[in-house]
Amino acid sequence: MSRLQSAFARARAANRAAFVAYVCAGDPDFETSLEICRALLANGVDILELGVPFSDPLADGLTNQLAAQRALEGGMTAARVFELVRRVREFSEAPVVFYTYYNLVFANGVDAYVRAARAAGVDGILTLDLPPEEAGELTAAGAAHGVDTVFIIAPTTPDDRIAPIAAATTGFLYYVSREGVTGVRAQVAGNIPQALARIRARTALPVVVGFGIGTRAQVTEVAAHADGVVVGSALVNCIRDHLGDRAGLGPAMAARAADLAAGVARPGL
């Protein structure tokens, strides 16, 4: 059983959703980013989703765009992102999933990139701008090197595309609950139960829900239906708010992660 499969199995056994936390690798610098990862994984995070910093993050709102900019200005490169994962592996066996754009994979050679990711300790790769119909090289490399693929389903995805998307996926399906870009929202999208029902009618893969989830109450609302809940911008905002207080950043992230993680539990059977 892979680390991702084990994480979802543990969550199911505990009658809860898996808590997936997103941060940008290297934000605001390498060592601080490593401590952020440590704080998250020690405080209820089941799956760590690392954004690979990119100069043109078209699926991301301003919060995550600025995080990528800080990471790039702090000297993050593809090699240093791999090094960050290797350092995380010194203290955690939690699954790590790259949240990235295909140009960053393609430019380095798809097979070479996936092989390097696996050697560093990466469990899955989500390429936001790569449709499954064009992902043959990536899925082949993932199968060859033991790296799971993750693909996106959106509110606008037609029913007849769900099965092909799921067929290219080996890790989990990421349901983007809102149209548009990442970012904290005042309310959770209202059609999540219906959307997950139509996805599950066509696949047995775990389905996580992200985009627009930023409070414990929102996590609880989504966890009632999803196999996993992704929180990103709310955590990245915590980094932003403590840029002038690096000593306080780790404790602040730990407290925020613990509060959010407490929301994934479901009512008793």
Cα–Cα nearest to 269, from 19, 16, 18, 11? 16
Do 118 and 86 form a contact (C-beta atoms < 8 A)? Answer: no
Q: Which of 27, 49, 221, 227 is catalytic?
A: 49
Burial category of 204 from C-beta neighbours within 10 Å (exposed 0-12, middle 13-18, buried 19 and up): exposed
Q: Which element (helix H / strand E) includes 126? A: strand 124-127
Cα–Cα nearest to 197, from 238, 161, 168, 159? 159
**What's the rounded Cα separation, in Å, for the pair 81 and 117?**
9
Active site residue 60: yes
Give me 47's structure tokens.
Answer: 């799956």
Burial category of 19 from C-beta neighbours within 10 Å (exposed 0-12, middle 13-18, buried 19 and up): buried
Three-state DSSP class for 214? coil
Q: Which of 29, 31, 46, 60 is catalytic?
A: 60
Catalytic (active-site) positions: 49, 60
